[in-house]
């Protein structure tokens, strides 16, 4: 493992050989609807609470990712997981049945990149032969925890995003069709946004910070990548990010895509500024991005998930919303 | 880095050269009162909310640990941090001023061992030249989030523990008087305890699981260590742990100590079963254990912090309390 520049790590040995995506009904009706491994027609997943439903999403994602390799849980040295719920209970209860050593993570909606980046380092360093990176979100559990009771049916702000009911799990090892070539972990970036219904604006500066660090560290330019995926900035955040990157001298617009904009059809699905939640970028990564890398349709992409590190309490106390973004460079092994 | 047995990692290069502990008034009146770096006479730390006070504990702990090395934040490649508050806001807001890449962690009260273990792997592998591991808890922010309004003044159960107002920060690098020799990350262990006022009983099986894994992996016995510190099992959990270890054929009682029992005087301080909270084991590690290792008074100890991975929501929904424990072997470099 080599450090490049100030913030970037270069890896040699890490490959991905299995991944799984599980989504809810609304997500299955979006533009990527037929790319996911499992669609749950009933968002309760047969559970008696939304929190238990979200835990079940994570359980199913890990089960499917294991199943694709005919692997038992004992074949995984560590599972790295986190989610948006208080005390990360969907990870705890979703992963409890497996008995794999758990390294709990918290990066809000950046969690897929955080868990995947750290899993990659564990494998590269020999600490793990294989690690699994998992995360999830659920519209119903997030809505009632962060915003309003579901039954309230209040009007949503145009800048608001729709928390995806989704989970993604990636198996990290030394074989497979996709290579993790670089990892850049982000710094907290806070430009003073206080509107909790405008997470895109709060997270865009963090994505710009991490992307800028990566380009400076590697001496590369945006046009060298087939695509640059951000986590879940939605329409408002994506526009801001492209403006910020333009200003920084790294115009990304021609290759930029946002998982929050890919997951839903904003015209037809009433999601306002786009999708969000830990599960949004996780499901798009596992359902849409990794398969294209595996097939060689994409050769070289950046995946920068973004998180808003606030809580209802911090917002109620007048605090601004700190953002963070972690980034991976993912490369197709197929020439 | 070498894997030993099923769950344990053996490290060669990682040393600790700075650490800091910050505690509140009640903690300063306990048996370890004069061993901490900073005592805050006013538990509000001059802030206008308990959550901001807790964030300030973390900020001060990192400031002091940096200051002991005359190091600027730029000298630290990563900070690994987490806490008990929803969405880990004391870490986010406490560490926001430093601009160090943040890897957010969630391990409930096991967080000090989780962050220190992962920081050690980052340094051993070359991913970081230096990393900082930080955590905190605050009686007032925890009490109102997990239990009852502070003003309510309800009677506490005899098995209940007292969340420490405390923070600890450890600098992980390649120089220093204490070596991190082994790390064992734990698995979720859940024997079905549902009483949220008896965390010790919920966490004891997790500590037994991880300690058992470590002894089996390394082929060592409890009596080979000067001390075996558990995180915050308190009186109830400590008794249970010693019984479980006796049954497993690894009797630890003669060398066992618990950070939750060390921090407070149960006779005089009305803390019922003992101390708890992420900051409890963090402050005892940084104020009491590491200094003794640095001076050679202790040569070889195990530090196994324990966490209860529940939330008020999971308990209200009838779920049991999953425990987890992560362990480090810490050795004095002084012969």
pTM for the full model? 0.98
Closest CA to B54 of B135, B114, B144: B135
Q: What pLDDT does A154 receive?
A: 84
The answer to whether the CB of A327 falls within 8 A of the CB of A113 is yes
Q: What pLDDT does A273 receive?
A: 95
The answer to whether the CB of A135 falls within 8 A of the CB of A81 is yes
What are the DSSP calls for A265-329, one per residue? -HHHH--TT-EESHHHHHHHIIIIIHHHHHHTS--EEEEEEEEE---HHHHHTT----EEEEEEE
Select the residue of B86, B106, B187 nearest A313 (Cβ to Cβ). B86
Nearest residue on chain B to A315, alpha-carbon basis: B89
Nearest residue on chain B to A11, alpha-carbon basis: B127
The mean of the pLDDT values for chain B is 97
Please compute the mean of the pLDDT values over residues B266-271 and round it to a whole number. Answer: 94
Q: What pLDDT does A12 receive?
A: 98
The answer to whether the CB atoms of B121 and A124 lie below 8 A apart is no
Nearest residue on chain B to A79, alpha-carbon basis: B187
CATH number of B13-173: 3.40.47.40
Q: Which of A58, A90, A314 to mutate to test the interface with B (most CBs of B within 10 A)?
A: A314
Q: Where are the beta strands (DSSP E) in chain B?
A: 2-4, 8-10, 15-23, 38-39, 78-83, 102-104, 131-137, 162-163, 166-173, 178-184, 227-230, 256-258, 275-276, 300-308, 323-332
The answer to whether the CB atoms of B87 and A127 lie below 8 A apart is no
Q: Which of A6, A87, A184, A312 to mutate to test the interface with B (most CBs of B within 10 A)?
A: A87
Torsion of CA A99, A104, A105, A111, to 10 degrees: 30
Pick the CATH number of B178-332 from 3.40.50.300, 3.90.1170.50, 3.40.47.40, 3.30.70.360: 3.40.47.40
Tokens of A43: 């968002």
List, for chain A, all residue ranges whose pLDDT scores fall below the cut of 50: none
- Nearest Cα of chain B lies from the Cα of A178 at a distance, in angstroms, of 21
Over the stretch B104-128, which tens digit does the pLDDT of each residue have? Answer: 999 999 999 999 999 999 999 999 9
Domain A14-173 matching CATH 3.40.47.40: the answer reads yes
Q: What is the CA radius of gyration of chain A?
A: 18
The answer to whether the CB atoms of A310 and B87 lie below 8 A apart is yes
Pairing of strands A178-184, A323-332: antiparallel
Nearest residue on chain B to A102, alpha-carbon basis: B187
Please compute the mean of the pLDDT values over residues B7-24 and round it to a whole number. Answer: 98
**Domain layout of chain A by residue ranges:** 14-173, 178-332
Select the residue of A84, A122, A186 nearest B101 (Cβ to Cβ). A186
Residue with token string 């037994």: B208
Over the stretch B178-208, which tens digit does the pLDDT of each residue have? Answer: 999 999 999 999 999 999 999 999 999 999 9
Report how far Cα B145 is from the mean position of its chain's Cα atoms.
20
Q: Is the pLDDT of residue B277 over 80?
A: yes
Q: What pLDDT does A119 receive?
A: 98
- Residues contacting B154, CB < 8 A, separation 6+: B148
Q: What pLDDT does B286 receive?
A: 98
Q: What secondary structure letter does DSSP report for A96?
A: G
Contact list in B for residue A322 (CB cut-off 8 A) is 92-93, 96
Select the residue of B88, B103, B322 nearest A114 (Cβ to Cβ). B103
Q: Is the pLDDT of residue B335 over 80?
A: no
Select the residue of A104, A114, A187 nearest B100 (Cβ to Cβ). A187
- Residues contacting A221, CB < 8 A, separation 6+: A215, A250
Confidence label for B134 from pLDDT (cuts 50, 70 and 90): very high
State the Cα–Cα distance between residues B84 and B157, nearest whole angstrom: 21
Cα–Cα distance list, A49 to A43, A45, A90, A139, B314 (Å): 10, 9, 11, 12, 10
Q: In degrees, to the nearest 5, what angle opens at C-alpha B16 toward C-alphas B65 and B222?
A: 125
The answer to whether the CB atoms of A314 and B51 lie below 8 A apart is yes
Closest CA to B333 of B20, B5, B12: B12
Q: Which of B9, B10, B92 to mutate to test the interface with A (most CBs of A within 10 A)?
A: B92
User: Chains A and B: how many Cβ contacts under 8 Å?
Assistant: 168
Confidence label for B154 from pLDDT (cuts 50, 70 and 90): confident
The answer to whether the CB atoms of B104 and A99 lie below 8 A apart is no
Tokens of B193: 């305890």
Tokens of B268: 């005089």
Q: What pLDDT does A153 receive?
A: 83
Q: What pLDDT does A155 receive?
A: 87
% residues pLDDT > 70 (chain B) = 100
H/E stretch holding A27 reads helix A25-28
Torsion of CA A136, A140, A146, A152, to 10 degrees: 170
State the Cα–Cα distance between residues B225 and B211, nearest whole angstrom: 12
Residue with token string 């980046």: A117
Please compute the mean of the pLDDT values over residues B157-180 and round it to a whole number. Answer: 97
Nearest residue on chain A to B9, alpha-carbon basis: A127
Q: In degrees, to the nearest 5, what angle opens at C-alpha A9 toward C-alphas A284 and B79?
A: 90
The answer to whether the CB atoms of A9 and B88 lie below 8 A apart is no
Nearest residue on chain B to A100, alpha-carbon basis: B187
The answer to whether the CB atoms of B187 and A89 lie below 8 A apart is no
B4 pairs with which residues across the strands? B8
Report how far Cα A243 is from the mean position of its chain's Cα atoms.
22
Confidence label for B209 from pLDDT (cuts 50, 70 and 90): very high
Over the stretch B32-79, which tens digit does the pLDDT of each residue have? Answer: 999 999 999 999 999 999 999 999 999 999 999 999 999 999 999 999
């Amino acid at each position: 493992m080599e450090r490049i520049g100030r913030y970037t790590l270069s890896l040699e040995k890490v490959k991905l050989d299995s991944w799984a995506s599980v989504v809810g009904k609304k997500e299955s009706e979006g533009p990527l609807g037929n790319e996911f491994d499992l669609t749950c027609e009933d968002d309760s997943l047969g559970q008696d609470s939304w929190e238990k439903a979200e835990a079940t999403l994570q359980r199913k994602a890990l089960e499917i990712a294991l199943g694709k390799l005919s692997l038992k849980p004992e074949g995984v040295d560590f599972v790295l997981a986190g989610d948006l719920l208080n005390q990360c209970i969907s990870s705890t209860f979703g992963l409890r049945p497996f008995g794999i050593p758990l390294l709990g993570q918290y990066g809000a909606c950046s969690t897929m990149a955080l868990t995947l980046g750290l899993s990659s380092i564990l494998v590269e360093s020999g600490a793990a032969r294989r690690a699994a990176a998992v995360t999830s979100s659920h519209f119903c559990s997030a809505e009632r925890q962060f915003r309003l009771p579901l039954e309230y049916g209040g009007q949503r702000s145009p800048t608001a995003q729709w928390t995806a009911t989704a989970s993604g799990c990636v198996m990290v090892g030394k074989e497979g069709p996709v290579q993790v070539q670089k990892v850049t972990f982000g710094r907290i970036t806070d430009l003073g946004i206080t509107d909790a219904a405008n997470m895109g604006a709060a997270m865009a500066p963090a994505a710009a910070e991490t992307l800028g660090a990566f380009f400076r560290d590697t001496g590369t330019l945006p046009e060298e990548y087939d695509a640059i995926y951000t986590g879940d900035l939605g329409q408002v955040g994506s526009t801001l990010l492209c403006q910020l990157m333009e200003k920084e001298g790294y115009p990304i617009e021609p290759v930029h895509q946002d998982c929050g904009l890919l997951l839903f059809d904003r015209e037809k699905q009433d999601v306002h500024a786009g999708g969000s939640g830990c599960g949004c970028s996780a499901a798009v990564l596992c359902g849409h991005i990794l398969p294209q890398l595996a097939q060689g349709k994409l050769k070289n992409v950046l995946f920068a998930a973004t998180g808003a590190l606030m809580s209802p309490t911090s917002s109620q106390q007048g605090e601004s919303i700190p953002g963070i973004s972690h980034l991976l460079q993912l490369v197709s092994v197929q020439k």
